[in-house]
Amino acid sequence: MKQILSAADVVAAGRRIAGRVVRTPVVCPEALSERAGARVWLKLENFQLTGAFKFRGALNCVLKLVSEPRPDGLRLITASSGNHALGMSLAGRLCGVPVTVVMPEGAPRVKQEKARAYGAEVVLHGEVYDDAQAHAARLAEATGAVYVPSFNHPDIMAGQGTIGLELMRDLPDLDAVVFPIGGGGLAAGLAVVFRTLLPRVRLVGVQAEGAAAMRASLEAGRPVELDAVRTIADGIAVRRPGELNFAVVKDLLDEVVTVSDEEIRQAMGALVKDASVVGEPAGAAAPAALLAGRVPVRPGATVAAVISGGNVDAHLLAEVLAG
């Protein structure tokens, strides 16, 4: 069986997108570290262009697509609960390619508006990501557009894995990396690059209790689909992980843990109060797991928590801070 993704693919992606993405900083808030019982470094992908890590994978994929000659031109379509839509919208604008994004009807308005501002056509369809994805695939077939998956694609995974390359350079003494999991694009990219280049690092994925499709799949030994997803964390509200993502991560992650929506809310508040960092619900999943004690770490360990995005509705953030 052909290897789906290698560390060399991630390194190549890093070179391809260099200078076009933000090399996001890491910070170690003292108050947050004290509460977690470890030296917690936040990888601030909320500072990425589009406000989320998804731009890395989207740009890597689009740059590869535009390098291939197409006599009829290139049009792209994708599905996303929000942040991949933003990544594809901006990548398309930068590369001069028209993009259509299909988003669930309940996608945060801030993400819908940003996608339109980047020049994408936004189509709203269905209740959750999986509904939007099925509709986008049908539109691609009907129009001849190229469908770009949100996570189930090697070039998407490779782009997301560049976060790991940056973490290794900034924090060579890392003991663990904690990160959110939806469909598994970020998890796959990080897993391959760390297991190849820094295998001693513990890798822990975090899912919302109401959308733990990857955890259920790992327990079943195959990708499974949840009947429904219910969580505040729209960015990781996926009923079924990607087939390719699952194939990559099933033997490489140390653990997948879950957090409640209330723990996510508490972590969002802690990020603002203790670190002056705005994280959307999915972006707060990793620190939520650390603060809730879901990830056992030895005192003084060096742990990186990926803040995957900061595109949060202002009303929700105000509600969280008021509570």
* Catalytically annotated residues: 54, 308
Question: What are 176's strand-pairing partners?
Answer: 202, 303
For residue 60, give the nearest of 122, 26, 133, 11 by alpha carbon: 11
Whether 40 contacts 290, CB under 8 Å? yes
Whether 205 contacts 282, CB under 8 Å? no
Distances from the Cα of 105 to the Cαs of 29, 72, 130, 250, in angstroms? 36, 31, 12, 32
For residue 66, give the nearest of 56, 81, 57, 76 by alpha carbon: 76
Give the Cα separation of 46 and 311 in Å (integer).
8
Backbone φ, ψ for residue 254 (5° rounding): -80, -35
Residue 192 burial (CB count, 10 A): 26
